[in-house]
């Protein structure tokens, strides 16, 4: 596979706004999951991972004068995208040949549910309803930065942002672009929270991925975007690569609408495809950032899939969702940034809150210190319906 380089990255989540704050929280083992502050839900007993800014504070940070119809997903997306473009050294004039692929499933649901009771009346607030759909969220983010060559929206539940990365990589490999901007954003909403609560997979305590006593996930929110370039573009622009996308895979086992298959077939196939495309063997991977939601079903299924792929060459594994909560459609790009930071700073993100090994499952990382150099990281993102994706990020050689 021809090299694909990441030259810019931006991230916003419960553990910080920007990469600097994010890195500090990861190194300190500091979770952002806690009591609800901004979400107007009656389920105050459920911990969540909220971005530590109100909508008004995000509007101020972005210098926006007209924010009437901007959704929380779009505001977080703008913060993350601004950081990514600035690091890559791209401005509005540079974006005319750059596709933008953003992932979301919630979209503008936060605005829509605010006006739910008014929908039966002829009310001027109906204009807000147009901000609901996922594509509208992508447009709101993009319009603040100039004219992209094209904009697209990926929505495959919790694998959405990883699939945005894969779509962008395929565009680069096919010669459809030299630079792409990819990632995802997802805010917390009442509908979002109530839906997961109805599935009975939310934990009333901080989540414990891969723990014997795990009881479910905590929902989170956030956004992250990556600027990816071909080798020719990096040389032409004199850009500085942060890391390399070495491989990726997507598979769908379609086992169940929401549950993972017992043997993790889709996850197994996605990881195998990523390794094959990268030209790597299991022993080439030094760390796995697991999907690791903390639900009994996911962690058992993913454990089986990882063990099937890696066998006796199992590297350190952890889930970072105990830091941020499950950021659903944005999780793949947020965790890709975590993996990039782990490569750059040579540490293993901890699986915080873990205490007791699950029978036949993964024993996750609780020590940040790697045993040797971290050169290649595999990151998993698995969605409802068995739409499972994996990517491999690699350290750039000097």
Active site residues: 158, 291, 326
The conformation of residue 361, written as its DSSP 8-state character, comes to: S
CA 388 to chain centre: 13
Dihedral sign, Cα of residue 312, residue 360, residue 333, residue 137: positive
What tokens does 140 get?
């709101």
In DSSP notation, 234-272 reads HHHHT----EEEEEEEEEE----SSSPPTT-HHHHHHHH
To which H or E segment does residue 4 belong? strand 4-13
Q: How many CB atoms lie within 10 A of CB 67?
A: 15
C-alpha–C-alpha distance, residues 29 and 46, integer Å: 21
The conformation of residue 319, written as its DSSP 8-state character, comes to: -
C-alpha–C-alpha distance, residues 30 and 3, integer Å: 34
What tokens does 106 get?
């919630």
272-276 contacts, C-beta under 8 A, 24 or more apart: 272/309, 273/247, 273/248, 273/249, 273/390, 274/247, 274/248, 274/249, 274/378, 274/390, 274/391, 274/392, 275/247, 275/249, 275/309, 275/378, 275/392, 276/247, 276/249
Burial class (CB in 10 A: 0-12, 13-18, 19+), 15: buried
In DSSP notation, 200-235 reads T-B-SS---TTBTT---B-BB-EEEEEEEEEHHHHH
């Amino acid at each position: 596979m021809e090299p694909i380089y990441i030259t810019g990255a931006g991230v916003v989540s419960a553990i910080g706004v920007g990469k600097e704050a994010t890195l500090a929280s990861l190194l300190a083992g500091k979770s952002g999951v806690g009591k609800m502050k901004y979400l107007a839900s009656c389920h105050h007993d459920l911990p969540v991972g909220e971005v530590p800014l109100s909508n008004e504070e995000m509007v101020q940070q972005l210098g926006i004068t007209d924010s009437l119809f901007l959704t929380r997903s779009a505001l977080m997306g703008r913060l993350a995208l601004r950081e990514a473009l600035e690091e890559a050294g791209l401005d509005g004039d540079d974006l005319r040949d750059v596709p933008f692929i953003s992932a979301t499933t919630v979209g503008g649901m936060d605005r829509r549910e605010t006006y739910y009771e008014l929908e039966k009346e002829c009310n001027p607030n109906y204009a807000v309803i147009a901000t609901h759909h996922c594509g509208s969220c992508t447009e709101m983010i993009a319009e603040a930065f100039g004219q992209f060559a094209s904009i697209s929206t990926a929505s495959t539940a919790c694998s959405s942002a990883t699939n945005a990365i894969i779509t962008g990589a395929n565009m680069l490999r096919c010669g459809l672009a030299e630079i792409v901007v990819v990632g995802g954003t997802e805010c917390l909403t009442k509908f979002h929270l109530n839906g997961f609560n109805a599935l009975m997979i939310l934990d009333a305590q901080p989540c414990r991925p891969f723990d014997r006593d795990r009881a479910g996930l905590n929902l989170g929110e956030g956004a992250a975007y990556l600027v990816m370039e071909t080798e020719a573009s990096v040389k032409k622009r004199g850009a500085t690569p942060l890391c390399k996308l070495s491989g990726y895979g997507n598979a769908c086992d379609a086992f169940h609408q929401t549950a993972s298959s017992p043997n993790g077939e889709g996850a197994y196939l996605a990881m195998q495809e990523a390794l094959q495309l990268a030209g790597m063997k299991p022993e080439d991977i030094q760390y796995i950032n697991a999907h690791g939601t903390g639900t009994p079903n996911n962690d058992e299924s993913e454990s089986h899939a990882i063990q099937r792929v890696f066998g006796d060459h199992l590297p350190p594994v952890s889930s970072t969702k105990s830091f941020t909560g499950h950021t659903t459609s944005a999780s793949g790009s947020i965790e890709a940034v975590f993996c990039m930071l782990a490569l750059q700073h040579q540490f293993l993100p901890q699986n915080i809150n873990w205490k007791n090994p699950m029978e036949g499952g993964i024993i996750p990382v609780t020590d940040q210190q790697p045993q040797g150099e971290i050169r290649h990281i595999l990151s998993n993102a698995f969605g409802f319906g068995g739409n499972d994706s994996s990517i491999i990020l690699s350290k750039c050689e000097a």
